[in-house]
Chain A
Amino acid sequence: MALVHKLRGIYKSVLLSSVSQSWSKDIQKVKPNLFVRNTSTSKPSYEKKEVNVTFIRANGEKLLAKGKEGDSLLDIIVNNELDIDGYGACEGTLTCSTCHLILTKEDYDRLPEKPTDEELDMLDLAFDLTDTSRLGCQIIMTKELDGLQVKIPSTIYDARS
């Protein structure tokens, strides 16, 4: 069974404690989202709009997942227990690049937050890097992004390749 499944339980608590090390401002983006899910801050989670994301493996297989606005794509993969080997090894702290995803040019351009230097630095270590690559832990879902489709790079994640 994929470890991503099992990560789920510990994921929240671990991430909450580990990101407090203040690595860079980008990590902070992840933190509030988790708080929203666990405790509740400004907007109760039931008011948050549900969003759909499709993850497409290199062999074309589609994985459908649901999340809430404010979730990162890494959150959505973990919460939906999607079986993607090795995904999100550093748990969203921008130090591993195992959460690499490939977007279409249009989606890449319309994402509200552009990649920071630190995200691009980690991406530079990823396999199959493209001009529209992003790290899943850094993409935060908004209402506007509902229905987003992203590709999982082939090199390592596709168990059937």
Chain B
Amino acid sequence: MTNSGILLKCLRQLSSQNIIPHICVVGAGPAGFYATQQILKSINNVKVDIIEKLPVPYGLVRFGVAPDHPEVKNVINTFDKIAQDIRVQFLGNINVGRDITLYELKQYYHAVLLTYGASEDKKLMIPGENLKNVISANHFVGWYNGLPNHQNLNIDLNKTDAIILGQGNVAIDIARILLSPIDKLKKTDITSYSLECLSRSKVRRVWLVGRRGPLQASFSIAELRELLKLENCKTYWRSNDFKGIQDIVPNLARPRKRLTELMLKSIEESSFDNRICDKEFHPIFLRGPVEFLGFDSVENVKLSVNELEGDHFLKQIAKSIGEFEEISCGLAFKSIGYKSTQIDPSIPFDLESGRIINSSGKVEKGLYTAGWVATGPIGVILSTMANAFTAGKLLAKEVELMKQMPGYHELQKFLRKKGICIINYEGWKKIDNEECERGKKLGKPREKIVDISEMIEIASN
């Protein structure tokens, strides 16, 4: 290094000692919180502002995780501790891309970390998708979990047969919500309006359709086991779907092996299960959605009969053999996955895969990403956590402190001018309190508030 180079480096170090890094995290879901945790751990003197579109934090832990799985939400206790760290601020009710651009954020912060998740759903792109009672899984989950956008879902549960296209854990969640005894749901934080609607549901038969075979099923074993054990519900497998599977089992890695063995065991048990149950669960494989049929509302779903092509079972793809099957159902759910959106045109974004282009969490100088918007909408909180740790650590290591940045000071001035009401963590705590109070009166842990203006009113009181 030249003398002037060394001098410059020393000067930088000297001046950067007085500069407090101001970091902006966009999206208050698991990825945002876990990345923040790493940043706090790596840098002692730092300010992290977590900006969130909604007035309330926690992302899919609040709006995705099923109401009858409250234990999963214990992770909120960790997020709460992070939010209460004096170096952290939660700033709710700010929609990045609409209320403020990424360019503007970069003027106020040393680094920006995008953790805004994946909230759109993938489209099937088949005829009949717009018929009534063809429901997106994303909307249905948002509806029962109180996501403000989806509270007015138009769904008719006065049907006996429901089909779910897709076999991931979200599909299983939906099947379980439809098949569970209503008394079980009553004690959860499910929204009252959806509970009321579900209590009048006539749905008694649920089909869970996968394009590929049992070896490619994407639900996890815990979720399947829970569904198989559901009270007053009987499972009907199609043994044809499992031809040749038994022979492959010994060669599978443990997780896939245990999952497949559970299905095979369930087939065996169901062959001498003589119970008469109110509800039926029908997982079927090797069927691909071709068309939703019906006049005004869906009445039938046309499925192609598929076979698998390719050598390795994990990479095999489904190919239609030119034959079809129709299943009669008055309600259909599309559960083929989520995708993310490009909330700001300056974000390098891969529209095809629906995620931000990045390498180990780095997008470009001063810009990072983590969680579902970075990896695509796959995996559980554990995988999101691992990914967010990596990105948070990288950001903390690389952040450049060339000059002072104003951070929140300027951000709030800018947003005030635009008339945006920022909800801070104290505001959220008021909403939280009110929700628990309302829940108490109804004998449930929480009654979620779904109206954004009501949330803001409570938070501002």
Q: Is B401 an interface residue (CB 8 A)?
A: no
Chain A residues within an 8 Å CB radius of B70: 18, 21
CB of B81 within 8 A of CB of A156, answer: no
CB of B74 within 8 A of CB of A91, answer: yes
Cβ-neighbour of A86 out of B71, B72, B225, B385 (below 8 A):
B385
For chain A, residues 1 to 51, give those with C-beta under 8 angstroms from any C-beta of chain B.
1-3, 6-7, 10-11, 14, 18-19, 21, 23, 27
* Contact indicator per residue, chain B 321-339, by CB within 8 Å of chain A (1) or not (0): 0000000000000000000
Q: Is B69 an interface residue (CB 8 A)?
A: yes
Measured in the bound complex, the distance between the Cα atoms of B258 and A37 in whole Å is 36
Stretch in A61-69, A105-113, A115-123, A143-151 with 4+ CB within 8 Å of B: A115-123
Q: Is B230 an interface residue (CB 8 A)?
A: no
Asked if A90 meets B389 with Cβ closer than 8 Å, knowing A85-B37, A121-B221, A121-B222, the reply is no
- Which residue of B is nearest A97, CB measured? B382
**Most chain B CB atoms below 10 A, which of A2, A10, A89, A127:** A89
* Contact indicator per residue, chain A 83-114, by CB within 8 Å of chain B (1) or not (0): 00110011101111110000000000000000
Q: Is B77 an interface residue (CB 8 A)?
A: yes
Cβ-neighbour of A2 out of B41, B72, B259, B382 (below 8 A):
B41
CB of A122 within 8 A of CB of B222, answer: yes
Q: Is B310 an interface residue (CB 8 A)?
A: no
Measured in the bound complex, the distance between the Cα atoms of B73 and A18 in whole Å is 10
CB of B222 within 8 A of CB of A129, answer: no
- Which residue of A is nearest B38, CB measured? A85
| CB of A126 to closest CB in B, whole Å | 8
Q: Is B458 an interface residue (CB 8 A)?
A: no
Cβ-neighbour of B75 out of A23, A96, A97 (below 8 A):
A96
- Which residue of A is nearest B258, CB measured? A124
Asked if A156 meets B75 with Cβ closer than 8 Å, knowing A7-B81, A85-B37, A124-B255, the reply is no
CB of B380 within 8 A of CB of A125, answer: yes
Cβ-neighbour of A89 out of B69, B74, B258 (below 8 A):
B74
Chain B residues within an 8 Å CB radius of A10: 77, 80-81
Measured in the bound complex, the distance between the Cα atoms of B254 and A18 in whole Å is 30
CB of B71 within 8 A of CB of A3, answer: no
CB of A93 within 8 A of CB of B221, answer: no
Measured in the bound complex, the distance between the Cα atoms of B74 and A155 in whole Å is 23
- Which residue of A is nearest B390, CB measured? A156
Q: Is B249 an interface residue (CB 8 A)?
A: no
Chain A residues within an 8 Å CB radius of B149: none
Asked if A18 meets B386 with Cβ closer than 8 Å, knowing A124-B258, A125-B220, the reply is no
For chain B, residues 368 to 422, give those with C-beta under 8 angstroms from any C-beta of chain A.
380-382, 385-386, 389, 393
Cβ-neighbour of B258 out of A93, A121, A156 (below 8 A):
A121
CB of B386 within 8 A of CB of A89, answer: no
| CB of B53 to closest CB in A, whole Å | 24
A-B pairs with beta carbons under 8 A, tally: 95
| CB of B386 to closest CB in A, whole Å | 4
Chain B residues within an 8 Å CB radius of A19: 71
Q: Is B15 an interface residue (CB 8 A)?
A: no
Measured in the bound complex, the distance between the Cα atoms of B82 and A85 in whole Å is 13
Chain A residues within an 8 Å CB radius of B112: none
CB of B82 within 8 A of CB of A3, answer: yes
CB of B221 within 8 A of CB of A124, answer: yes
CB of B74 within 8 A of CB of A90, answer: yes
Asked if A96 meets B255 with Cβ closer than 8 Å, knowing A3-B82, A7-B81, A90-B74, the reply is no
| CB of B358 to closest CB in A, whole Å | 19
CB of A90 within 8 A of CB of B75, answer: yes
Chain A residues within an 8 Å CB radius of B71: 18-19, 21, 23, 27, 90-91, 93-95
CB of A98 within 8 A of CB of B38, answer: no
Chain A residues within an 8 Å CB radius of B393: 159
CB of A124 within 8 A of CB of B254, answer: yes
Q: Is B34 an interface residue (CB 8 A)?
A: yes
Measured in the bound complex, the distance between the Cα atoms of B69 and A93 in whole Å is 10
Chain B residues within an 8 Å CB radius of A121: 220-222, 225, 258
- Which residue of A is nearest B220, CB measured? A125
| CB of B377 to closest CB in A, whole Å | 16
Q: Is B78 an interface residue (CB 8 A)?
A: yes
Cβ-neighbour of A159 out of B41, B82, B382 (below 8 A):
B41
Chain A residues within an 8 Å CB radius of B34: 86
Measured in the bound complex, the distance between the Cα atoms of B38 and A66 in whole Å is 27
Q: Is B171 an interface residue (CB 8 A)?
A: no
CB of B74 within 8 A of CB of A125, answer: no
Chain A residues within an 8 Å CB radius of B225: 117-118, 121
Asked if A125 meets B385 with Cβ closer than 8 Å, knowing A3-B37, A7-B78, A89-B78, the reply is no
| CB of B288 to closest CB in A, whole Å | 27
CB of A89 within 8 A of CB of B255, answer: no
For chain A, residues 125 to 145, give those with C-beta under 8 angstroms from any C-beta of chain B.
125-127, 129
Asked if A156 meets B41 with Cβ closer than 8 Å, knowing A89-B75, A95-B71, the reply is no
Report A's interface with B, CB cutoff 8 A: 1-3, 6-7, 10-11, 14, 18-19, 21, 23, 27, 85-86, 89-91, 93-98, 117-118, 120-122, 124-127, 129, 155-156, 159
Instruction: Please list 9 pairs of residues, one from A and one from B, whose beta carbons are closer than 8 Å in the complex, sorted by A's number.
Output: A10-B77, A86-B34, A86-B385, A89-B75, A89-B385, A91-B74, A96-B381, A120-B258, A124-B259
